[in-house]
Amino acid sequence: MLNKADLETNASIDGGMGQAKPHDSAHLHVAGEATYTDDIREPRGCLYAYVLKSPHAHAKIKKLDVSACSIPGVHAVMTAKDIPGVNDAAPVVGGDPIFAESEVLYAGQSIFAVAADSVDIARKAAAKAVVEYEPLPAILNTHDAIKAKKFVGDTYVMAQGDSTVLKKSKHQFHGAIDIGGQDHFYLEGQIALATPLENGEFHCWSSTQHPSEVQHLIAKMLKIPDHLVTVEVRRMGGAFGGKESQASLIACIAAALAWKSKRPVKLRLDRDDDMLMTGKRHPFHISWDVGFNDEGLIEGIDFTQAADAGMSPDLSNAIADRAMFHADNCYYLGNSKVTSYRCFTHKVSNTAFRGFGGPQGMLAMEYVIDDIARQLGKDPQAIRKVNLYDPKGKLKDRCTTHYGMTVEDNIIADIFAKIEKTGDYAKRREEIARFNRTSKILKKGLALTPVKFGISFTLTMLNQAGALVHVYKDGTVQLNHGGTEMGQGLHTKVAQVVADVFQIDLDKVRVTATNTSKVPNTSATAASSGSDLNGKAAEAACVTIRDRLIDFAVGHFGVKKDNVRFTPAGVQVDGKMLSFKELVQLAYTNRVSLSSTGFYKTPKIDWDRPKAKGRPFYYFAYGAAITEVIVDTLTGEYNFLRADLLHDVGRSLNPAIDIGQIEGGFVQGVGWLTSEELWWNEKGELKTHAPSTYKIPTGRDIPKDFRVALFDGDNQEETIYRSKAVGEPPLMLGISAFLAIRDAVAACGKPHCLPPLMAPATPENVLKAIQAVQA
Catalytic residues: 728
Query: Do residues 56 and 65 make contact, with C-beta atoms less than 8 angstroms apart?
Result: no
Q: CB-wise, 171 or 510, nearer to another protein?
A: 510
Rg (CA), the chain: 27
Q: CB-wise, 28 or 197, nearer to another protein?
A: 28
Which amino acid makes up residue 494?
V
3-state secondary structure of 705: strand
Query: Do residues 260 and 545 make contact, with C-beta atoms less than 8 angstroms apart?
Result: no
Q: CB-wise, 310 or 671, nearer to another protein?
A: 671
Tell the smallest beta-carbon distance from residue 659 to another protein (Å).
Answer: 8
CB neighbour burial string for 437-462, b if at least 16 within 10 angstroms, e if fewer = eeeeebbbbbbbbbbbbbbbbbbbeb
699 binds another protein (CB under 8 A): yes
Q: CB-wise, 340 or 528, nearer to another protein?
A: 528
525 binds another protein (CB under 8 A): no
Select from 1, 26, 197, 569 the one that contacts another protein (CB under 8 A).
26
Tell the smallest beta-carbon distance from residue 72 to another protein (Å).
Answer: 10
Select from 520, 660, 756, 763 the one that contacts another protein (CB under 8 A).
660
Going by their DSSP bridges, the two strands 564-567 and 464-471 should be labelled as unpaired
Select from 483, 697, 755, 760 the one that contacts another protein (CB under 8 A).
697
634 binds another protein (CB under 8 A): no
Sole window of 148-156, 301-309, 493-501, 702-710 interacting with another protein (rule: CB under 8 A): 702-710
Tell the smallest beta-carbon distance from residue 128 to another protein (Å).
Answer: 9
Sole window of 403-411, 587-595, 597-605, 687-695 interacting with another protein (rule: CB under 8 A): 687-695
Please report which residue ranges of 573-690 form alpha helices under DSSP H: 580-589, 655-673
Residues 144-203 that bind another protein (CB under 8 A): 184-189
Q: CA triplet 659, 662, 668: central angle to 5 degrees?
A: 140
Query: How many whole angstroms separate alpha carbon 69 and alpha carbon 87?
Result: 21
Query: How many whole angstroms separate alpha carbon 194 and alpha carbon 217?
Result: 13
241 binds another protein (CB under 8 A): no
496 binds another protein (CB under 8 A): no
Select from 372, 495, 657, 748 the one that contacts another protein (CB under 8 A).
657
339 binds another protein (CB under 8 A): no
Select from 203, 235, 347, 493 the one that contacts another protein (CB under 8 A).
235
Count Cα neighbours of 634 within 13 Å in the Cβ-side half-sphere.
Answer: 4
Q: CB-wise, 378 or 695, nearer to another protein?
A: 695
3-state secondary structure of 659: helix
353 binds another protein (CB under 8 A): no
Tell the smallest beta-carbon distance from residue 205 to another protein (Å).
Answer: 14
Tell the smallest beta-carbon distance from residue 184 to another protein (Å).
Answer: 8
Q: CB-wise, 158 or 667, nearer to another protein?
A: 667
In sequence order, what are the beta bridge partners of 173? 290
Query: How many whole angstroms separate alpha carbon 166 and alpha carbon 368?
Result: 14
Count Cα neighbours of 38 within 13 Å in the Cβ-side half-sphere.
Answer: 12
687 binds another protein (CB under 8 A): no
721 binds another protein (CB under 8 A): no
3-state secondary structure of 528: coil
Q: CB-wise, 556 or 707, nearer to another protein?
A: 707
29 binds another protein (CB under 8 A): yes
Tell the smallest beta-carbon distance from residue 313 to another protein (Å).
Answer: 27
628 binds another protein (CB under 8 A): no
CB neighbour burial string for 387-416, b if at least 16 within 10 angstroms, e if fewer = bbbbbeeeeeebbbbbbbbebebbbbbbbb
Select from 656, 753, 758, 772 the one that contacts another protein (CB under 8 A).
656
Query: How many whole angstroms separate alpha carbon 98 and alpha carbon 94?
Result: 11
Tell the smallest beta-carbon distance from residue 643 to another protein (Å).
Answer: 10
Query: Do residues 173 and 371 make contact, with C-beta atoms less than 8 angstroms apart?
Result: yes
Select from 370, 648, 663, 717 the one that contacts another protein (CB under 8 A).
663
645 binds another protein (CB under 8 A): no
Tell the smallest beta-carbon distance from residue 355 to another protein (Å).
Answer: 15
Q: CB-wise, 4 or 41, nearer to another protein?
A: 41
End-to-end CA distance of the chain: 65
Q: CA triplet 64, 70, 74: central angle to 5 degrees?
A: 120
39 binds another protein (CB under 8 A): yes
Tell the smallest beta-carbon distance from residue 127 to another protein (Å).
Answer: 8
Select from 147, 197, 690, 764 the one that contacts another protein (CB under 8 A).
690
Of 316, 400, 462, give the one whose Cα is nearest residue 615: 400
639 binds another protein (CB under 8 A): no
Query: How many whole angstroms separate alpha carbon 631 and alpha carbon 744?
Result: 7
Sign of the C-alpha dihedral computed for residues 167, 172, 178 and 181 taken in this order: negative
Q: Which helix (H) or strand (E) holds 64?
A: strand 59-65
Q: CB-wise, 69 or 159, nearer to another protein?
A: 69
- DSSP code for 182: B
The residues near 583 (Cβ < 8 Å, ≥ 6 apart) are: 549, 553, 571, 573
Query: How many whole angstroms separate alpha carbon 513 and alpha carbon 485?
Result: 9
Tell the smallest beta-carbon distance from residue 237 to another protein (Å).
Answer: 3
271 binds another protein (CB under 8 A): yes
Any idea how long the chain is?
A: 775
668 binds another protein (CB under 8 A): yes
450 binds another protein (CB under 8 A): no
616 binds another protein (CB under 8 A): no
Select from 33, 65, 154, 582 the one that contacts another protein (CB under 8 A).
33
Residues 723-742 that bind another protein (CB under 8 A): none
130 binds another protein (CB under 8 A): no
Select from 406, 590, 698, 716 the one that contacts another protein (CB under 8 A).
698
Select from 7, 15, 25, 740 the one that contacts another protein (CB under 8 A).
25
Of 516, 515, 538, 534, give the one whose Cα is nearest residue 525: 534
334 binds another protein (CB under 8 A): no
27 binds another protein (CB under 8 A): yes
The residues near 395 (Cβ < 8 Å, ≥ 6 apart) are: none
CB neighbour burial string for 56-89, b if at least 16 within 10 angstroms, e if fewer = bbbbebeebebeebeeebbbbbbbbebbeebbbb
* 760 prior amide bond cis, ω within 30: yes
Tell the smallest beta-carbon distance from residue 7 to another protein (Å).
Answer: 24
3-state secondary structure of 38: helix
Select from 9, 35, 287, 585 the one that contacts another protein (CB under 8 A).
35
318 binds another protein (CB under 8 A): no
CA 410 to chain centre: 23
413 binds another protein (CB under 8 A): no
Which amino acid makes up residue 755?
P
692 binds another protein (CB under 8 A): yes
Q: CB-wise, 153 or 238, nearer to another protein?
A: 238
Q: CB-wise, 63 or 704, nearer to another protein?
A: 704
Residues 88-127 that bind another protein (CB under 8 A): 124, 127
Residues forming contacts to another protein in the complex (CB under 8 A) are 22-23, 25-36, 38-39, 124, 127, 184-189, 235-240, 270-271, 486-489, 656-657, 660-661, 663-664, 666-668, 671, 690-692, 696-700, 702, 704, 706, 708
